[in-house]
Amino acid sequence: MTQDRLPLIPQAQWNPAQQVCADEIIRGPRGGLIEPFIPLLRSPELCTHAQRMGEYLRYRSAIGMRLSELAILVTARHWSQEVEWAIHAPIAIREGINESVVQAIGLNQKPQFTQADEQLVFDFSVQSLVDKRINDATWAQAIALLGEHGAVDLLGIVGYYTLLSVLMNGACTPAPAGAKMPLPPL
């Protein structure tokens, strides 16, 4: 992999807008300035908006953390985004996604689901990324199970983590050192 194109800017070199943005991230639920906000800090206004959207989608979405983490993993695998995978694979397992499901997604295989809501989120996420639309049957299932609010939040999660994936892939942001669950190569 190419060397990190947008590594951490030393704090002493942050401009006032970068300092305000970084302070908000550090004081929030993440507790520190981590990827993907390290490369995003070059654009403090974009970073501020992105981190606020991400805070909602990750911690307070209408579908809850278990299903959010599943959608994040599907998106990370689609984009071969090792930072998001390394961060979210252990969280997904902690939130109740079976480790065999996580492993199958990492290998770009269709998992064997035991829970209907997980199958739906997987299908919905894959369709939005691969087919670039949700088929009518999957949409109807999503509305029945998640409601319109949940369906919109799920689309938001896939879109948000696509933004982060494209950004970090372009910046060649490396996975955190010592990642316990690296993304398997395809």
Buried b (16+ CB within 10 A) or exposed e, 144-180: ebbeeebbebbbbbbebbbbbbebbeebebbbeeebe
In whole angstroms, what is the distance from residue 29 CA to residue 66 CA? 17
Per-residue pLDDT of 42-73, as tens digits, reads 999 999 999 999 999 999 999 999 999 999 99
Per-residue pLDDT of 106-115, as tens digits, reads 999 999 999 9
**With contact defined as beta carbons under 8 Å apart, do 129 and 162 qualify?**
yes
For 17, 24, 59, 92, 174, the CA distances from 52, given in Å and listed in that order, are: 15, 9, 11, 21, 23
Question: Higher pLDDT residue, 2 or 63?
Answer: 63
Report the pLDDT value the prediction gives residue 2, as an integer from 0 to 100: 80
Residue type, 93: I
pLDDT of 75 > 80? The answer is yes
Confidence of residue 176 (pLDDT cuts 50, 70, 90): confident
Q: Which of 19-23, 36-40, 112-116, 178-182 has the lowest mean pLDDT?
A: 178-182
pLDDT of 178 higher than 90: no
Segment 26-40 mean pLDDT? 95
The string of DSSP letters for 7-75 reads -PPPGGG--HHHHHHHHHHHHSTT-S--TTHHHHTTSHHHHHHHHHHHHHHHHS-TTHHHHHHHHHHHH
Q: Residue 1's pLDDT is what?
A: 58
Q: Tell me: the pLDDT tens digits for 113-149?
A: 999 999 999 999 999 999 999 999 999 999 999 999 9
Residue 163: HSE in the Cβ half-sphere, 13 Å Cα cutoff: 16
Percent of the chain with pLDDT over 90: 96
DSSP letter for 128, please.
Answer: I
